[in-house]
Amino acid sequence: MLLTHRGGLQKSVNQKLHNVLEESKVAGQAQRKLLISQISEYMNKPIGQFHYSNLGYVLVGHILENATGLKFSKLMKTYLFEPLEMNSCGFGETSTRGNVQSKWGHFYSKGKLKAYHYDFPRLYEPAASVHCNFIDWNKFLKVTMDGYIKKSDFLSKKSFKKLYSTYDNRQSGYTFGGWELKNLSGFNGPILTHHGYNQLNYAEIFLEPSRENIYGFASNSYHNASLAVDKLLSYILKTRD
């Protein structure tokens, strides 16, 4: 239920804890242990009903850390980044202090965009902190789509099937792999889609398995990014063969 946002958890921690973790130098694994000690405070949604929750994925990350004895970042490197040669992948801020040429995210305020060195607290590593370049992102997306159409042996067919199944086996909704399975006008058949942001950067993806097309978009400003993606995608779909 956690992977399909039906575990009864609210979306995020309260603002007080968020602020504490944001300023903390404590590693993500320790932050997740702190959350577990307070988890009952955040279990306030009906179990079984859909409620988007980053904390569900944080909890799954904590479970994996306990089961393997490895940090979540190490698990990702060992079982995903290294096998797919996703060498640009990392966690946390995309920018480097003092380097204006690095990948800065931007926040819109009072009519202006301003660059910030920021990411969510390390607590959220299993839900929202991975970054990589487009080349490496595409490697992951290609395996994802190939798994859906049974052209990849990166995982077993049984595992891939589970990742793309919804909680109640409907033809649309959130899957166990974190994707939203849906039908959208302009696409041929069902698609897998998702978007994410950290108040500064924005990314959105559309996988069209029937035509083996990948449409990925990213911006270093969250402001109006989803509207821009909608316009770009609409143009692409109208003008493609």
pLDDT tens by residue, the chain, 241 residues: 899 999 999 999 999 999 999 999 899 999 999 999 999 999 999 999 999 999 999 999 999 999 999 999 999 999 999 999 999 999 999 999 999 889 999 999 999 999 999 999 999 999 999 999 999 999 999 999 999 999 999 999 999 999 999 998 888 899 999 999 999 999 999 999 999 999 999 999 999 999 999 999 999 999 999 999 999 999 999 998 7
Backbone phi, psi, residue 211, to 5° = -115, 5
Backbone phi, psi, residue 192, to 5° = -110, 130
Whole-angstrom distance, CA of residue 67 vs CA of residue 1: 18
Backbone phi, psi, residue 171, to 5° = -85, 0
pTM score: 0.92
Whole-angstrom distance, CA of residue 107 vs CA of residue 128: 17
CA-nearest of 5, 123, 24 to 71 is 123
Contact 102, 95 (CB under 8 A): yes
Residue 136, pLDDT score: 98
CA-nearest of 190, 26, 57 to 121 is 26
